[in-house]
Structure 1
Amino acid sequence: MAGELLTKAYVGGRWVAGRGGTFPVYDPATGEEIAKVADCTVDDVKEAIESASGAFEVWRKTTAKERAAVLTRVRDQLIKEKDNMATILTRENGKPLTEAKGEVGFAASFFEWFGEEARRQYGEAIPSSVPSKRMITIRQPVGVAALITPWNFPIGMVGRKVAAALAAGCTCVLKPAEDTPLTALAFAKVCESAGVPAGVVNVVPCSRARVQEVGAALTESPKIQVLSFTGSTAVGQWLYSRCGQTLKKLSLELGGDAPFIVFPSANMDKAVGGAMASKFRNTGQTCVTANRIFVHESIHDEFVKRFSEAMSKELRIGQGLEAGVNQGPLINKRQYDRLVKMVDESVAAGAKVVRGGKSPGGLYYAPTLLIDVTPSMPIARQEIFGPVAAILKFKTEEEVIRMANATDMGLAGYFYSNDLSQIWRVTEALQVGMVGVNEPMVSTCEAPFGGVKRSGLGKEGSKYGLDEYTDLKYICFGI
Structure 2
Amino acid sequence: MDQAVQQFTDLYIGGAWRPGASGDRFEVLNPATEDVLAHVASAEIEDADAALDAADKAFAEWAGRTPRQRSEVLRKAWELMTARLDEFARLITLENGKAGTDARGEATYAAEFFRWFAEEAVRADGLITHAPASGARIIVQHKPAGIAVLVTPWNYPAAMGTRKIAPALAAGCPVIIKPASETPLTMLALMPLLEEAGVPKGLVNVLPSRHSGKLVDHLLHDPRVRVVSFTGSTGVGRKLLHSAADQVLKPAMELGGNAPLIVFDDADIDAAVEGAMLAKMRNLGEACTAANRFYVHEKVADAFAEKFTAAMAKLKVGDGLDPDVDVGPLVNRDTQEKVAAFVADAIEKGAKLKLGGELPAGRGFFYPPTVLTDVPETADCVHDEIFGPVAAIQTFTDTDDVVRRANDTEYGLVAYVFTENMKRGLQVCERLDYGMVGLNRGLVSDPAAPFGGTKQSGLGREGGHEGMLEFMETQYISATW
TM-score normalized by the length of structure 2: 0.97
Q: Hey, what does 1:427 align to over in structure 2?
A: 429
1:32-111 mapped onto 2 (5 Å cutoff): 32-111=35-114
The answer to whether the 8 A contact 2:414-2:435 is kept is yes
Runs of 4+ deviating beyond 6 Å: none
Conserved? CA contact 2:349–2:378, under 8 Å: no
| Aligned position for 2:448 | 446
Once residues 306 and 106 of structure 2 are traced to their aligned partners in structure 1, the CA distance between those partners, rounded to angstroms, is: 31
Q: Distance in 1 between matches of 2:7 and 2:365?
A: 24
Q: Residues 193-232 of structure 1 correspond to what in structure 2 (within 5 A)? A: 193-207=196-210, 210-232=211-233
| CA-CA distance at 1:300 after TM superposition | 0.7
Distance, in Å, in 1 between the alignment partners of 2:196 and 2:372 is 48
Deviations 1:59-108 (A, max 9, x none): 11011000001111111111122211111111000001222112111111
- Please report how far the alpha carbon of residue 242 of structure 1 lies from its aligned counterpart in structure 2 after TM superposition: 0.8
Letter in 2 for 1:451: G
Match of 2:467 in 1: 465
Contact 2:6 2:38 in 1 (8 A): no
Task: Render the CA deviation track for 1:111-132: whole Å, top value 9, x for unaligned.
Answer: 1111111111110122222575
Segment drifting more, 455-464 vs 358-367 = 358-367
Partner of 1:321: 321
Residue from 392, 397, 400 that aligns with 1:398: 400
**SS of match in other structure, 1:197:** coil
- Return the alpha-carbon distance in structure 2 between the equivalents of residues 326 and 341 of structure 1: 23
Q: Does 1:251 align with 2:249?
A: no
**Is the contact between residue 256 and residue 288 of structure 1 (CA under 8 Å) also seen in structure 2?**
yes
Rounded to whole Å, the distance in 1 between the matches of 2:141 and 2:104 is: 38
| 2:12 corresponds to | 10
Deviation sequence 1:395-449 (CA, Å, 0-9, x none): 1101100110000000000010111321122011101000000001111111000
* TM-aligned CA deviation for residue 336 of structure 1: 1.0
* Residue-pair matches, total: 476
Separation of aligned partners in 2, 1:299 and 1:97: 33
SS of residue in 2 equivalent to 1:251: strand
Letter in 2 for 1:69: E
Aligned 1:184-195 pairs, distance under 5 A: 184-195=187-198
1:104 partner amino acid: A
Aligned to 2:239: 238
**Over residues 317-354 of structure 1, what are the superposed CA-to-partner deviations in whole Å (9 max), with x where a residue is unaligned?**
00010011110111011111111111111111111100
CA distance in 1, matches of 2:429, 2:469: 25
Does the CA contact (< 8 Å) of 1:24 and 1:36 recur in 2? Answer: yes
Q: Match for 1:334: what amino acid?
A: D
Aligned to 1:161: 164
User: Would the aligned equivalents of 2:88 and 2:186 in 1 still touch at CA under 8 Å?
Assistant: yes
Compute the RMSD of aligned alpha carbons. Answer: 1.2
CA contact (8 A) 1:151 1:178 kept: yes
Q: Matched residues in 1 for 2:131 and 2:472: separation?
A: 24
- The percentage of aligned residue pairs carrying the same residue is 42
Distance 2:407 2:121 in 1: 36
The separation in 2 between residues aligned to 1:268 and 1:132, in whole angstroms, is: 60
Aligned-partner Cα distance in 2 for 1:130–1:424 = 41
Q: Residues 453 and 459 of structure 2 are in contact (CA less than 8 Å); yes or no, is this contact kept in structure 1? A: yes
AA aligned opposite 2:449: A
**How much has 1:135 moved relative to structure 2?**
1.4
2:360 paired residue number? 360
Distance (Å, rounded) in 1 between the aligned partners of 2:420 and 2:328: 34
Aligned to 2:270: 269
Look up the match of 1:415.
417
What amino acid does structure 2 have at the position aligned with 1:347? I
Alignment partner, residue 145 of structure 2: 142
Compute the displacement of 1:4 (Å).
Answer: 5.7
Q: Matches of 1:376 and 1:366 in 2, distance apart?
A: 23
2:480 — aligned with what? 478
Distance 1:94 1:110 in 2: 23
Asked if the contact 1:5–1:182 (Cα under 8 Å) also holds between the matched residues in 2, the reply is no
Q: Does 1:119 align with 2:122?
A: yes
d(CA) in 2 for partners of 1:420, 1:34: 49
Q: Does 1:307 align with 2:308?
A: yes
Structure 1-normalised TM-score?
0.98
Q: Is the 8 A contact 1:25 1:34 kept in 2?
A: yes
CA distance in 2: counterparts of 1:340 and 1:4, whole angstroms: 33
Residue identity in the other structure for 2:161: V
Letter in 2 for 1:116: E
Query: Aligned partners of 1:410 and 1:263: how far apart in 2?
Result: 21
C-alpha distance in 2 between matches for 1:441 and 1:334: 27
Q: Structure 1 residues 432-441 or 190-199, which shifts more? A: 190-199
SS at match of 2:34: coil
- Whether contact under 8 Å (2:130, 2:136) holds in the other structure is no
239 and 154 in structure 1: CA distance in 2 versus 1, 3 angstrom threshold: same
Contact 1:316 1:326 in 2 (8 A): yes
Q: Matched residues in 1 for 2:222 and 2:343: separation?
A: 42
Q: In structure 2, what is the Cα distance between the partners aligned to 1:131 and 1:358?
A: 72
Conservation of the 8 A alpha-carbon contact between 1:373 and 1:392: yes
| Structure-2 separation of matches of 1:375 and 1:285 | 22
* In 1: Cα distance, 2:434 partner to 2:471 partner: 23
Structure-2 separation of matches of 1:226 and 1:10:
20
